[in-house]
Amino acid sequence: MSIDAGFSLIAKDDDIVEGNLYGVSVRETPLLLVRLEGVIRAIGRICTHEFADLAEGQIEDGCVVCPLHGSKFDIMTGRALTLPAVEAEPVYEVIVRDGAVYVAVPCEPVD
């Protein structure tokens, strides 16, 4: 079975360790990869409150904590759970197949 054209190869499955944060970029879109309870998730990597790299944060109770002001984002839904952030992080579809991790990142329209 092939992977849809909208998916990009990101990493090897074995490289994404439970509980670690991984910052990657696909087509200039910054992503945060996390393996949580065995499942790899991908959300936006830049805090929606103020420019901060969530890959430099930490995981706490299923959330990523922003290293700048401590906002918490739900890793499964991207939802901002604590102030000062109020805007959710985008969530990206992840497929793991044949030992490889693929993420769907929409293409930007060409003007």
42-83 residue pLDDT tens: 999 999 999 999 999 999 999 999 999 999 999 999 999 999
Is the pLDDT score of 31 beyond 80?
Answer: yes
Say what the pTM is. 0.90
**Residue-level pLDDT at 53:** 98
Structure tokens, 64: 């990523």
For 31, residues 6+ apart whose C-beta sits below 8 A from its C-beta are 10, 23, 24, 25, 42, 43, 44, 45, 92, 103, 105
Domain 7-104 in CATH 1.10.760.10 = no
Q: Can you give the residue ranges of every domain in the chain? A: 7-104
Average pLDDT, the chain: 93
Local confidence band at 106 (pLDDT 50, 70, 90 cut-offs): confident
Local confidence band at 107 (pLDDT 50, 70, 90 cut-offs): low
**Which residue in this structure is represented by tokens 């990101």?**
10
**Residue-level pLDDT at 17:** 97
Mean pLDDT throughout 17-37?
Answer: 95
Within the chain, where are the H helices?
A: none
Number of H helices, E strands in the chain: 0, 10
Buried b / exposed e along 92-107 (16+ C-beta atoms within 10 A): bebebeeeebbbbbee
